[in-house]
Amino acid sequence: MTEEKMLEVKPITRHFNDLELVRELNKAEFPRNERMPIWMLLRMTKSKKGVVDFLAFYDDDLFIGFISLFTICDLTYVALLAVNSKVQSKGYGSRILGYVKELYPDNRVTINIEVLDENAANSEQRKRRRAFYLKNGYESSGIILKMVGPALEVLISCGSTITKDELFTIAKAMYGTFTYIVMRPFSRITSVVYK
């Protein structure tokens, strides 16, 4: 068996050569109500309240996808992970998550995904997405987050835990105090454990 070569990783900035590819992938892979504008992701990279990684991945010259991470202390939140649909199901998403583990080996890593809902228009996509993360070493934290848009299940790297307060600390640091104060009254976190 041959060893996979490393993906090339490039930081995404305002002057990033393939910024338009990042914009297009963001638009293609995320519904409007879940999509974070690229300008916001770029602005977050200047955060003084945590470490923000906004990274593009390449296999040779082929743009594979991107990830946006926000880290405070020992907690890394995957804000967005997108893989080009032309190369999905070829192991690239798993390799990108593997890179996150290498980048932050001692951190708890968390990501939010839409809750499973048989009546949702994208029910099958939700099942596949959840199965992908479970296969890659994540598990349910038992927390469901309801802010704006669909309810989200909070997944965490296996063997780790996260509290509701830690989730709000991340939100406050990521979005700023004003946005946090405005959003908090409309936010609800409930504990639900999937079987």
116 closest CA partner among 105, 126, 106, 108: 126
> How many angstroms separate the CA atoms of 168 and 174, rounded?
10
Laid out side by side, the sheet with 62-72 consists of: 8-11, 51-59, 62-72, 75-83, 108-114, 152-157, 138-146, 188-191
The residue type found at 29 is E
132 closest CA partner among 106, 96, 170, 167: 96
Q: Do the domain assignments include residue 103?
A: yes
The beta strand positions in 61-191, using DSSP E, are: 62-72, 75-83, 108-114, 138-146, 152-157, 188-191
Q: Do the domain assignments include residue 1?
A: no
What is the pTM assigned to this prediction?
A: 0.84
- Predicted confidence (pLDDT) at residue 48 exceeds the cutoff of 60: yes
Q: Any idea what DSSP says for residue 117?
A: -
Confidence label for 3 from pLDDT (cuts 50, 70 and 90)? low
Domain extent at residue 172:
8-191
CATH code (residue 89): 3.40.630.30
Q: What is the largest CA-CA distance in the chain?
A: 54
Report pLDDT digits (tens) over 98-122.
Answer: 999 999 999 999 999 888 989 988 8
Q: Do the domain assignments include residue 172?
A: yes
Report pLDDT digits (tens) over 50-86.
Answer: 678 999 999 999 999 999 999 988 999 998 899 998 9
Q: Do the domain assignments include residue 23?
A: yes
Report pLDDT digits (tens) over 12-41.
Answer: 989 999 999 999 999 988 877 777 888 888
